[in-house]
């Protein structure tokens, strides 16, 4: 988990650097309807173990969605530098969602 958190922060810095290098300003974070709607499906009042499995599956879906979006971007953007950057992020996100799924499966066995 710590490795994923470190990687996410590195990605954030990389994105921030690219935004600045290209002369753009970093905007305010906007609410993500997909995330908010998905969060509503999280079970409440369940055992600690079930709640943890839900959180892991929630995280896995968020990461898988990112992976899918980076795939579409890397396949379609004309800028080669960005295409490679998005491809690298896609691979990283694939590692994240599979890690969360693995943790959820292991929790389900407890």
Residues that bind Fe ion (CB under 5 A): 63, 93, 96
By C-beta, is 60 or 96 nearer to Fe ion?
A: 96
Q: How far is the CB of 46 from Fe ion (least distance, A)?
A: 25
Q: How far is the CB of 96 from Fe ion (least distance, A)?
A: 4
Question: Of all residues in this chain, which one has the CB nearest to Fe ion in the complex?
Answer: 96
In terms of DSSP H, where are the helices of 1-110? Answer: 2-21, 33-39, 48-76, 80-108
By C-beta, is 12 or 41 nearer to Fe ion?
A: 12
Q: How far is the CB of 8 from Fe ion (least distance, A)?
A: 5
In the chain, what is the greatest distance between 2 CA atoms, to the nearest angstrom?
A: 51
CA 6 to chain centre: 13
57 with 107: CB under 8 angstroms? no
By C-beta, is 79 or 91 nearer to Fe ion?
A: 91
């Amino acid at each position: 988990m710590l490795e994923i958190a470190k990687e996410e922060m590195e990605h954030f810095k990389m994105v921030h650097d690219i935004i600045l290098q290209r002369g753009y300003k970093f905007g305010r974070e906007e609410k993500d309807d997909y995330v908010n709607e998905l969060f509503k499906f999280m079970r409440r009042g369940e055992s600690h173990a079930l709640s943890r499995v839900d959180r892991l599956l929630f995280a896995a879906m968020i990461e898988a969605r990112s992976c899918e979006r980076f795939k579409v971007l890397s396949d379609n953007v004309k800028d080669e530098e960005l295409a490679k950057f998005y491809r690298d992020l896609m691979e990283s996100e694939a590692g994240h969602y599979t890690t969360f799924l693995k943790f959820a499966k292991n929790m389900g066995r407890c």
